[in-house]
Amino acid sequence: MKRILVIGASGFVGPYLCQNLIDNGYDVFGSKLINQKQNFEGQCVNLNILDEDDVFKVLSDIKPDYIIHLAAQSSVKLSWENPTLTFNINVMGIVNIFEALRKLNLKPRILIVGSSEEYGKVDKNLIDENCETDPLNFYALSKVTQEKIALIYHKNYGFDVICARSFNHIGPGQSTQFVVADFAKQIVEIEKTSQQGNIYVGNLSAKRDFSDVRDIVNAYRLLIEKGRSGELYNVGSGNCIAISEILNKLISYSNAKINIVVDKNKFRPVDTPEIKANINKLKKDTDFKAKHNIDETLMGVLKYFRNKADEE
């Protein structure tokens, strides 16, 4: 049985990824921070990627055949507020992992998870992997740097590295730092109180390529199985939708009377206007096919917050 370590398994994506890997016959280890609860299936290890000794010990104990590196400061918004934290986790974390592997003489196949934010503003309708990167915020810059570091280890030390550039992904369990969870939670709060109220929103004109998190983790598994070493892969849907449309869809699934209030505090210093993936390379190399549509996913997120509110 192939042994796989998911680094940063206790976030939003990790539990979906661990389940997908278990369902597909892997021996799964997931890492979490010591103070976090285990919320994923598989064997659990405590790991702080900023602690070099900790990284060394965990990798020498597990000796994985594969690693999928999810641990990240993943919020663009938070990266404006805390660039230091963002660079520490997203940049130093990957250096610590490669240095430990190098010293241990271990060569697992590694999937590095980057972001569509790395592209910045692109003058092309569809973004493919050959587009220049032009990071417009600290999160994006940290992900470009993470990827470049991984590729230096690939080229100079022969590590088997694949780099994903993931577009927006959503589903039950995501933090309300992100737009769909933020809107859905507010809608459910209105439903549970007076059945009418204000929803506070930021920039509705931005357009993003949204996928169901279950499709994204399936693409990660396919990439670790079939991706070509040293290559970059867009992971997304190939469809683009305005945040205003997402909002209208969510409101239309509710019986509450909702008044939209644009809150300037929710705007960012710079917001990439439109992001849409060309995923031909992913499809060609891995036979990836998305299984979930946006309406089903949005309804799932609303249902998650309604159930949570019922439990409280």
Q: Which residues bind ligand GDD (CB under 6 A)?
A: 74, 76-77, 115-117, 166-168, 177-179, 182, 201-204, 206, 208, 243, 266, 268, 271, 275
Judged by beta carbon, residue 106 or residue 204, the one nearer ligand GDD is: 204
CA 260, CA 244: separation in Å to the nearest integer? 10
Judged by beta carbon, residue 65 or residue 274, the one nearer ligand GDD is: 274
Task: Give the strand pairing for 241-242 and 207-208.
Answer: antiparallel
- Retrieve residue 268's tokens: 């960012």
Tell how far CA 218 is from the center of its chain: 13
Judged by beta carbon, residue 20 or residue 79, the one nearer ligand GDD is: 79
Q: Contact, 165 vs 235, CB < 8 A? A: yes
CA distances from 237 to 176, 210, 228, 233, 310 (A): 22, 7, 20, 13, 32
The sign of the CA dihedral 237, 88, 137, 148 is: negative
Judged by beta carbon, residue 138 or residue 167, the one nearer ligand GDD is: 167
Minimum distance from residue 107 beta carbon to ligand GDD (Å):
27
Give the three-class secondary structure for 43.
Answer: strand
Minimum distance from residue 132 beta carbon to ligand GDD (Å):
17
Q: What is the torsion angle, in degrees rounded to the nearest 10, for the CA atoms of residue 38, residue 44, residue 50 and residue 53? A: 150
Minimum distance from residue 135 beta carbon to ligand GDD (Å):
11
Helix, strand, coil abundance in the chain, percent, nearest 5: 45, 20, 35
Judged by beta carbon, residue 179 or residue 298, the one nearer ligand GDD is: 179
Q: Helices (DSSP H) in the chain: which residue ranges?
A: 14-23, 52-62, 76-81, 83-87, 93-104, 138-157, 179-192, 213-226, 243-252, 280-286, 294-311
Judged by beta carbon, residue 64 or residue 171, the one nearer ligand GDD is: 171
Minimum distance from residue 116 beta carbon to ligand GDD (Å):
4
Give the three-class secondary structure for 2.
Answer: coil
- Retrieve residue 247's tokens: 């909002």
Minimum distance from residue 96 beta carbon to ligand GDD (Å):
21
Q: Contact, 268 vs 77, CB < 8 A? A: yes
Minimum distance from residue 166 beta carbon to ligand GDD (Å):
6
158: phi then psi, degrees, rounded to nearest 5: 75, 20
Judged by beta carbon, residue 43 or residue 83, the one nearer ligand GDD is: 83
Judged by beta carbon, residue 24 or residue 82, the one nearer ligand GDD is: 82
Minimum distance from residue 31 beta carbon to ligand GDD (Å):
19
Minimum distance from residue 175 beta carbon to ligand GDD (Å):
9
